[in-house]
């Protein structure tokens, strides 16, 4: 299990042993995790690298979603009333402490816990049943990145466009060891309802 001192800005990555696969939900002919993978050690969402997300998918007998899968999941979540408002840090408290967007501390457990608590608060306010599809609970890793690189699908805006479109940069803007407070992992199992 990864450990970190409270308040530390050191890097935090969920260990594979702490990954919990949440409830599955049907979208079209496929099953998706209704919410991103969870972290048993923190009680929040799992914060994995791209390489770690691929490993978690293999362990669950699933795969990472594609760009089109995230669009379909987001549409289903919007219809169900669980398209969340993006939790983009730093928030007011972190800004008052001198943190800025892109701060190196964005990989810390503290930032991840602030993000995850804000996501959970939205789910609680909306009365999430634990099974309905959810979108914008972080930025999701998506399939297909070249070896050593990573593809990430950003938050969806109200107009239906995404902050990051995943594969548009070709090689991916990050390597497969990248992670931060909002990188999360959705899994998909294909063709179960064909």
Tokens 């060891």 belong to 177
Given a cut of 80, whether residue 3 has pLDDT beyond it is no
pLDDT digits (tens, 9 = 90+) for 48-65: 999 999 999 999 999 999
Overall size of the chain counted in residues: 194
Number of domains in the chain: 1
2 within domain boundaries: no
- Residue 174's pLDDT is what? 84
Asked whether residue 10 is domain-assigned, the answer is: no
The pLDDT of residue 70 is above 80: yes
9: in domain: no
For residue range 129-187, list pLDDT tens digits in order: 999 999 999 999 999 999 999 999 989 998 988 887 665 555 667 899 999 999 999 99
- pLDDT surpassing 80 at residue 192: no
Q: Identify the band that residue 8 occupies on the pLDDT scale cut at 50, 70 and 90.
A: low
Measured between alpha carbons, how far is 140 from 67 in angstroms, rounded to an integer? 10
Identify the sign of the CA torsion 176, 23, 76, 32: positive
| Mean pLDDT in residue range 76-103 | 94
How far does CA 123 lie from the centroid of its chain? 15
Burial 34-61 (b: 16+ CB within 10 A, else e): bbbbbbebbebbbbbbbbbbbebbeebe
Q: Is residue 123 part of a domain?
A: yes
Q: Indicate whether 74 belongs to any domain.
A: yes
> Do the domain assignments include residue 6?
no
d(CA 89, CA 87): 6
Tell me the backbone φ, ψ of residue 148, rounded to 5 degrees: 85, -5
The whole-number pLDDT of residue 171 equals 61
Q: Is residue 11 part of a domain?
A: no
Q: What range does the domain containing 30 cover?
A: 16-189
On whether residue 171 sits in a domain, the answer given is yes
């Amino acid at each position: 299990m990864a450990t970190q001192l409270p308040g530390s800005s050191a890097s935090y990555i969920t260990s594979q042993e702490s990954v919990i696969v949440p409830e599955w939900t049907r979208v079209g002919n496929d099953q998706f995790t209704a919410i991103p993978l969870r972290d048993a050690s923190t009680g929040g969402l799992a914060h994995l690298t791209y390489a770690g997300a691929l490993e978690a998918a293999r362990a669950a007998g699933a795969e990472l979603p594609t760009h089109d899968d995230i669009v379909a999941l987001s549409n289903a979540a919007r219809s169900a009333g669980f398209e969340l408002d993006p939790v983009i840090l730093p928030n007011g408290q972190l800004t008052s402490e001198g943190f800025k967007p892109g701060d190196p501390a964005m990989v810390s457990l503290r930032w991840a816990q602030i993000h995850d608590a804000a996501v959970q608060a939205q789910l609680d306010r909306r009365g999430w049943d634990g099974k309905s599809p959810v979108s914008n609970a972080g930025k999701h890793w998506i399939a297909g990145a070249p070896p050593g690189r990573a593809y990430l699908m950003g938050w969806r805006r109200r107009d239906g466009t995404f902050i990051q479109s995943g594969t548009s940069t070709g090689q991916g803007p990050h390597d497969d060891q990248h992670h931060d407070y909002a990188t999360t992992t959705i899994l998909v199992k294909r063709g179960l309802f064909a």
